[in-house]
Structure 1
């Protein structure tokens, strides 16, 4: 396992811009064992199956670096799920109908005082399909989201696959969705393309309750895709990056009712994760 100084100092060296309030880019000298560290970038305890450690869940991706990783010699990371990816919040009531594994900022090293969910912040991340562990798009996948501190909903999220209640016409797209308590209104959609990163910047104004979407593919600079759209961002949420595979045919309790096939091994690749302060109206585009 990497020592406190190596993991943490490597992380700090990536923050070349003073406006970055949390940096989730993975330094090139970090191995998978670092994801189990109590002093790492990501929470070593959440979110994952009870019998699993993150060093068994994540894979470091050897492919081309994402747009915002290549600038700081960071590496992308693949988050995987299998039959054991059953989360039990607080150690009880396992979510037996869901398969999930998500990276979250480590509360031991992340900024305090809700720094990523107050003021005006821009969440950056890049995402691409796993080349070797494809998703089953007959399911809905929740992949990037902010969860309210009271766990009562997700103010903003990214999904793919056959969204629950849909006909699956957009199952191969990435969809940015608004507050789940307000019906998860579609804010932006773009194809989820094999072998290429899709890059996002979500400009979130927590004072005005608006979201603006910027995106690109590959190493192209981000471009504006929407204006500032009204969206309730209240709740001082926590960020999640990974796979939350929902069941097909969910019942009234969709966490514990519905269909999941067995023998799975699926993944998604992330890169370029960071949050910057955009109170001055600026968004890093390249």
Structure 2
């Protein structure tokens, strides 16, 4: 199906990038600084991190050292954004406003915001049909432990569920099964009910480009994917996402980063083993991923698929 849908996408493209309303641009500008990250200045709210360190302890702006995904500026000699390294270590214990420290998780995440306000931005991003773009690269200097589950991109409404998510590693189970699972080294696109709707091998030295269209009124999803500079191609049908909350209850923050779930600890009580937020086994190692190409567009005029191209027919349910 992927090849057929990709051909359809290419046939329907026109080079009119201005036709797509850009709702949020999270592609880190070259003048963004790590002091901006520490202060949550600019396109990211950076408070989801370990409580003892600044955001720049866990995240780095890579400047010209690691070129960003080429998907959005293939004709330019100078990148128009910089890639971002996001890491976790044993201090990556987030302390939310209530519920106590999340000792079961290790997490560092950026949340989309505009003008210092993520809640107001959600009300713009989470209506109609919107497309969430992001590109992910392995950081083999700081490898992940694929025995664990990682949630690395998601939209999170107030009930803690994910409208859609990108998962790596071995999904958490209690008791822990055989690790790692066979597809642990694949990027998995999940719907709200945690069904896998697409997988792509997480190959090294590759930008893995994704776009996920969310139809908020009809509660559907549609995924696109490409490696490196290849144009995005549709890799799923328009699929129902009916378990997602409807209306205001489904509005949530757009996260990207590294959220590492624990392994169930056989020495914990059954209740503790089930409480993945506060209990479980974590090794405390330094691990990370690299991101670029993060933005959100309104889909009524089509979907940007790279290098100035737009498709007006992909991910249409009609």
**Length-normalised TM-score, structure 1:** 0.87
The offset of 1:60, in angstroms, is 2.2
Match of 1:127 in 2: 136
Q: Are the equivalent residues in 2 in contact too, given 1:42–1:106 (CA < 8 A)?
A: yes
Write out per-residue CA displacement over residues 102-160 of structure 1, whole angstroms, 9 at most, x where no aligned residue: 00023625554611111100000000111311101111000001101x23311110000
Match of 1:266 in 2: 287
Once the two structures are superposed, residues 23-81 of structure 1 have per-residue CA deviations (whole angstroms, 9 ceiling, x without a partner) of: 1000112222221234311014x211111211111122322220345366101101000
Greater RCO (CA < 8 Å, at least 6 residues apart) = 2
2:66 to 58, 63, 66: 63
Structure-to-structure mapping, 1:149-228, within 5 angstroms? 150-165=158-173, 167=178, 168-179=181-192, 182=193, 184-228=194-238
Answer yes or no: is 1:83 the counterpart of 2:98: no
Q: How many residues get paired?
A: 265
C-alpha contact 1:68 1:271 (8 A) present in aligned 2:
no
1:24 touches 1:273 (CA, 8 Å); kept in 2? Answer: yes
Unaligned runs of 5+ in 1: 1-14
List runs of 5+ in structure 2 lacking aligned partners.
1-16, 266-272, 307-318
Please list, as runs of the form range in 1=range in 2, the aligned pairs for 1:241-256 lying within 5 A after superposition. 241-249=256-264, 251-256=273-278
Following superposition, which runs of at least 4 residues in structure 1 exceed 4 angstroms of deviation?
15-18
Q: Take 2:274 and 2:36, find their aligned partners in 1: how far apart are those partners?
A: 39
Deviation at 1:259, TM superposition (A): 0.7
Cα 1:63–1:112 shift into 2, 3 Å: closer
Larger radius of gyration: 2
Match of 1:278 among 299, 302, 305: 299
Q: Is the 8 A contact 1:34 1:55 kept in 2?
A: no
Seen in structure 2, the aligned counterparts of structure 1 residues 35 and 157 have a Cα distance that, compared at 3 Å, is same
Q: What SS does the corresponding residue of 2:162 show, helix, strand or coil?
A: coil
- Report Cα offsets for 1:238-257 as digits up to 9, x if no partner: 11100000001261111112
C-alpha RMSD over aligned residues: 2.0
TM-score normalised by L of structure 2 = 0.78
